[in-house]
Chains A and B, each alone.
Chain A
Amino acid sequence: MTSEIVQKYFRIENLPHIWCPGCSNGVVTRALTMAIDELGLDQDNVVVVSGIGCSSRAPGYLDFNTLHTTHGRGLAFATGIKLANPKLDVILIAGDGDVSAIGGNHLIHAARRNIDITTIVFNNNIYGMTGGQYSPTTPTAAKGTTAPHGNIDKPFDIAQLAAAAGATYSSRTTAYHVNQMVKYFKDAISNKGFSMVEVASICPTYYGRKNKSGSGVQMMQALKNDFIDKMAYEKLPEEKKEGKHLMGVFKNITLPEYTAEYQRVIDALQGGENNE
């Protein structure tokens, strides 16, 4: 037994899920179904695609058309689905490693084309499924099993990366800020073009233990305390800006969408003015 929304949009027979106690993946996945419900999307018209990773298990629990693909290639599969049937609402669920390391090129080119796919990144700053290796979003000096003395890399800012690559909608929120997350998901799905919502998430099992971040609750509390809207951040006195992370909408513009442009070429060649 569970709530009406979970009964409607989840494959109940596959629950409870395998995610660790305190992992925020369930919070984010449920928020996505809230957004889909509030938008009134046809359940049979929604396609949820994923690659590999803890977050990529989510489509297995969701009762839509779902596809669990190879590591990093979720966006390549999603691009194929959207081009084959542009009427579908295509949503990608990916982890930080999946979308910005293994699938980094797919991300920037899907964003560059502005194809109407909504990408939701569960960014827990680590490779959780494979045992806590550092990812492209692990903060400098943070620890992972492959960085026992602290990470010397500088992290990607996934929301800004997608915006710079050409996404027409890009925002960041956290797994704690559920109401904002649902709103961003709705705005991203409604945007006719490539949309990115980066959700700062928590991995108590690997990131938390390696970095002595405390329990899942303490890590959720840190999301609540450390993330601040980018507008509010500008007004903070300098001494209070340290250690703060920015959330908010980084880009929201309108540009021609890829499948619509592709259809124009098809129409022109199949009897449009150009064919006479």
Chain B
Amino acid sequence: MKSKDQLEVKINPDWCKGCGNCVSFCPTNVLALDHHGKSTMVNREGCILCGMCEKLCPDFAIWIGGKEDE
């Protein structure tokens, strides 16, 4: 298991279909859709790594992963 300071939200824009679940249900409002309609992190410091975005992403395009991972 990685500790919290080794983790971050990761996004695969190629798989994101822009449904907006992650943006709308994020409890700290740290995500937004960019000008291509893809999910993007706008406030990394505000992210509490709760994993709500990962649970509600239908496209497996956003997740909590290790900072060092590919």
Contact = CB atoms under 8 A, between A and B. Distances in A.
Contacts of B10: 1, 3
A237 interface: no
Interface string B31-63: 000000000000000000000001111111101
Q: Kindly state the interface size class of chain B when it binds its partner.
A: 20 to 34
Contacts of A220: 21, 24-25, 56
Contacts, number: 71
A243 interface: no
Contacts of A26: 57-60
A226 B3 CA distance: 37
A245 to B, nearest CB: 19
B4 to A, nearest CB: 16
B15 A2 contact: yes
Nearest to B15: A16
B29 interface: no
B58 A4 contact: no
B16 to A, nearest CB: 9
A2 to B, nearest CB: 5
Given A22-B19, A217-B19, A2 B56 contact: no
A220 B65 CA distance: 25
A186 interface: no
B21 A217 contact: yes
A3 B60 contact: yes
Nearest to A30: B60
Contact of B60 (A10, A22, A216): A10
B37 to A, nearest CB: 9
12 contacts: A2-B60, A15-B15, A16-B60, A20-B17, A21-B18, A22-B21, A22-B58, A26-B57, A27-B57, A178-B56, A215-B19, A220-B56
Given A17-B59, A215-B20, A220-B24, 9 more contacts: A1-B70, A3-B10, A3-B65, A16-B61, A21-B17, A27-B55, A27-B57, A179-B55, A216-B21
Q: Which 4 A-B pairs have the closest CB atoms?
A: A26-B58, A3-B63, A21-B17, A22-B19
Interface of A: 1-4, 6, 10, 15-17, 19-27, 30-31, 176, 178-179, 215-217, 220-221
